[in-house]
């Protein structure tokens, strides 16, 4: 893979490429796909992500060296600038988006207790273009996330894994998994609906994952 891809922090100039990956995310990520976002909801989500996440200068992308195409990225928030429903301008015409945001908030409800005031990075969205599957990008994304956190003096990384594959990857790179929520049992915190009943196996639920960092050299 060396020479084929390069990694760097994302900037506002990458917005068009980020938008393409986020649209893929909303169309294919298991929870968003189940909720069937409208075009309005997709645009609100994408615009807010780019406006809120990119300026924090901790999100990064993997680029195809030959074409300079953004083929994968991790959108990250700092511990004091976390992703939460209040940053989105939603309304009566955004019921699916509202449900997903409440689910995301529900999955992070134990985060304050687990991080215990330590500075952390939260991987909000991890995306890879399927065109680049089976090239080790998922592992590269997770390793780079750890490097970014260490270089910027964060003590922990947190993520939510929504699929069996992402759970296995998180375990493989040393994350601890806790507080799993089954899709068949989760109820929307406002409507009481079992909103993910149509998600099919092997995707059984989401789990909160975290890793306490030491130093870059401890991994060698």
What CATH number is attached to the domain comprising 203? Answer: 3.40.630.30
DSSP assignment of 93-109, as one string? Answer: T-HHHHHHHHHHHHHTT
For residues 141 and 218, which has the higher predicted lDDT (pLDDT)? 141
- What percentage of the chain reaches a pLDDT higher than 90? 76
Overall domain count for the chain: 1
pLDDT at 3: 59
Q: What is the pLDDT of residue 136?
A: 83
Of residues 132 and 39, the one with the higher pLDDT is: 39
pLDDT of residue 89: 87
Residue 215's pLDDT band (cuts 50, 70, 90): low
Task: Give residue 90's Cα distance to chain centre.
Answer: 20
pLDDT > 70? residue 16: yes
pLDDT for the residue 172: 93
pLDDT band of residue 97 (cuts 50, 70, 90) is: very high
Q: Which residue would you say has higher pLDDT here, 41 or 82?
A: 41
Q: Rounded to an integer, what distance in angstroms lies between the CA atom of residue 60 and that of residue 147?
A: 11
pLDDT at 217: 41
Asked whether the predicted pLDDT for residue 195 surpasses 90, the reply is yes
As a whole number of Å, the CA-based R_g of the chain is 17
Domain range for 39 is: 5-219
- Asked if pLDDT for residue 133 goes beyond 80, the answer is no
User: Cα–Cα distances in Å, from 25 out to 65, 76, 183?
Assistant: 22, 15, 19
Q: What gap in Å lies between CA 60 and CA 143, rounded to an integer?
A: 12
- 6 alpha carbon, distance to own chain's centre: 20
Contact 156, 211 (CB under 8 A): yes
């Amino acid at each position: 893979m060396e020479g084929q891809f390069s990694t760097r922090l994302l900037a506002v100039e990458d917005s068009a490429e980020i938008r393409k990956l986020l649209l893929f995310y909303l169309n294919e990520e298991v929870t968003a796909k189940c909720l069937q976002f409208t075009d309005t909801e997709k645009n609100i989500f994408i615009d807010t992500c780019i406006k809120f996440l990119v300026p924090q200068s901790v999100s990064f992308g993997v680029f195809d060296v030959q074409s300079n195409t953004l083929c994968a990225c991790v959108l990250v928030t700092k511990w004091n600038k976390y992703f939460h429903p209040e940053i989105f301008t939603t309304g009566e015409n955004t019921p699916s988006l509202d449900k997903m945001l409440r689910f995301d908030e529900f999955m992070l409800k134990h985060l304050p207790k687990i991080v215990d005031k330590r500075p952390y990075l939260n991987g909000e969205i991890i995306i890879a273009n399927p065109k680049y599957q089976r090239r080790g990008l998922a592992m590269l994304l997770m390793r780079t996330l750890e490097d970014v956190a260490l270089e910027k003096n964060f003590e922990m990384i947190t993520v939510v894994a929504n699929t069996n594959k992402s759970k296995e990857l998180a375990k493989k790179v040393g994350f601890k998994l806790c507080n799993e929520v089954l899709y068949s049992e989760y109820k929307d915190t406002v409507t009481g609906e079992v909103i993910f009943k149509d998600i099919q196996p092997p995707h059984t639920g989401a789990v909160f994952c975290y890793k306490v960092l030491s130093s870059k050299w401890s991994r060698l």
